[in-house]
A = this chain, B = another copy of it.
């Protein structure tokens, strides 16, 4: 089986601290540190704090990106780590993210992106499926 071009970790963080999820500096510093631990090359970043609460942020790395969107009032954050490198310390980065956000509950989905030799693919027509589920 051919390696995928990208590895995408889709992480649901539940029951986190309101204070942590609403502090843009803490959220940014945590993602930047996770990128550093992973060995990523940081290309750019954009973080934003919403009023009355919530933080969104993305770090573009040479290996793809990290993103986060937080709902402090619900203790929830949607975290994505996408890498096209096979040489990053994903374990270390996920460990830092876990310890920093200290979720009471977590769910991690792993998705391979860009599997070019996939034997089964949807037809272009099935893009129409996507809007149908909105």
A residues adjacent to B (C-beta < 8 A): 5-12, 14, 43-46, 48, 50, 56-58, 60, 62, 64-65, 67, 69, 71, 74, 76, 78, 80, 82, 84, 90-91, 94-95, 98, 103-111, 113-114, 116, 118, 121-124, 126-127, 129-131, 133-134
Contacts and interface: CB of A to CB of B under 8 A. Distances in A.
B113 A127 contact: no
A16 to B, nearest CB: 11
Contacts of A91: 131, 134
A129 B108 contact: yes
Nearest to A46: B44
B131 A12 contact: no
A43 B103 CA distance: 27
Nearest to A86: B134
